[in-house]
Structure 1
Amino acid sequence: MAAEDPSVSGVSGRYATALFELARDEKSVDAVKADLDKFEAMLAGSADLTRLVRSPIFGADVQSKAIAAVLEDAGIGGISAKFLKVLTANRRLFAVRDVIRAFRALVAKFKGEATADVTVAEPLSDKNLDALKTALKSVTGKDVALNVKIDPAIIGGLVVKLGSRMVDSSLRTKLNSIKHAMKEAG
């Protein structure tokens, strides 16, 4: 399965595929995805956790103990916790974000969903997220899972990447277009 999808290749793809196949066999794909989403949100919200995950300075012992504590604190258990501990023991924790991304791609393919990467200047309300999902579903004919990234630098609007297609309606891009048009006219 991993070989068919270029987004799930390499080390992260192999780990994600192994986790996906185990979760599928245990009928816990949604639970594992929810745990990984929670872990990724914790990573995004904690510079210390990101440092622990990415820095080669921390030994396997230190990383293992810290990750075990973090997982217990967050209430992440079962397959997800065991997997993250194996990733840590194998000194591959630095790749956890890529593994999570690859796992999501496998889940989306399994469920017949498409995945869209959406960049917004500030968090979207549930109403706006639902409207965006509905609009993307009308374009693709599939349910669309959203990976939302907040980037205040785009000022406003949004950037949507769905497969090989990208729509950039950010205010930053529009302002840059106006700036270039004014340079050419002047």
Structure 2
Amino acid sequence: MVNVSIARRYARALLDVSSEVGRIDAVAEQLTAFADILAKNPELADVLHNPAYSRAQRSQVVEGVMKLVPGLEPVLANTLRLLVDRNRLVYAHDIARLFRDMADARAGRVRGNVTSAAALPADTLAQLRQTLQQLTQRDVILETRVDPSLLGGVSAQVGSVLYDGSLRTQLDQMRRELK
């Protein structure tokens, strides 16, 4: 099990430092991009997490990966170097997730997922986003997914609240009531 308190500590420190320079959103995007690079390349992750490789070798690999992220913020580059020095790079994905969540909370944003049976038109998605903003009293950032098993309707999860207006759920509810 990953120790979340370690990741939270680094995420909070990075948030404080990046807020001082006013680059929270840029750091969040770049940190997520870096964590995605590690997640998509198991060989790279093995090199960075395997104790058989020296700290200098891991540091060179991280420097190479940092060159892949365009315009890398100096605050983030220093943090990544610190993570390599302290053998904490294994927490990069958790740090990125927690950093994004803390940055969203500080900015008054909340993330949500919208699942529909078919792709939603842009105007419908905008109207749904506006409605969710009114319900939550926060800025809502939506990610969309298509799930044909819903049959129809929309299911939206914002934070820990699920708004389920899918046809599949309504049919399941009718089935339970008829039994």
TM-score, normalised via structure 1 length: 0.67
Percent of residue pairs identical: 23
Structure 2 residue 81 is matched with structure 1 residue 85? yes
Please tell me the residue identity of whatever aligns with 1:63. R
SS, match of residue 87 in structure 2: coil
- Distance in 1 (alpha carbons) for counterparts of 2:65 and 2:45: 14
Superposed displacement of residue 121, structure 1: 8.6
Matches within 5 A, 1:66-85: 66-75=61-70, 76-85=72-81
Q: Give the match's secondary structure for 1:135.
A: helix
Offset at residue 149 of structure 1 (A)? 8.4
Q: Structure 1 residue 61: deviation in Å?
A: 3.2
Is the partner of 2:162 in helix, strand or coil? strand
The structure with the larger Rg is 2
For residues 21-100 of structure 1, the aligned pairs below 5 Å read 21-44=16-39, 46-48=40-42, 51-52=45-46, 55-57=49-51, 59=53, 60-75=55-70, 76-100=72-96
Identify unmatched segments of 5+ residues in structure 1: 1-8
Q: 1:41 offset after TM fit, Å? A: 3.9
Alpha carbons of structure 1 residues 92 and 163: separation in structure 2 relative to 1, 3 Å: same
Whether the 8 Å CA contact 1:43–1:50 is kept in 2: the answer is yes
TM-score, normalised relative to structure 2: 0.69
> Deviation digits for residues 30-53 of structure 1, max 9, x if unmatched?
221221232244345x23366348
Q: Decide whether the 8 Å contact of 2:111 with 2:141 is kept in 1.
A: yes
Deviation at 1:66, TM superposition (A): 1.3
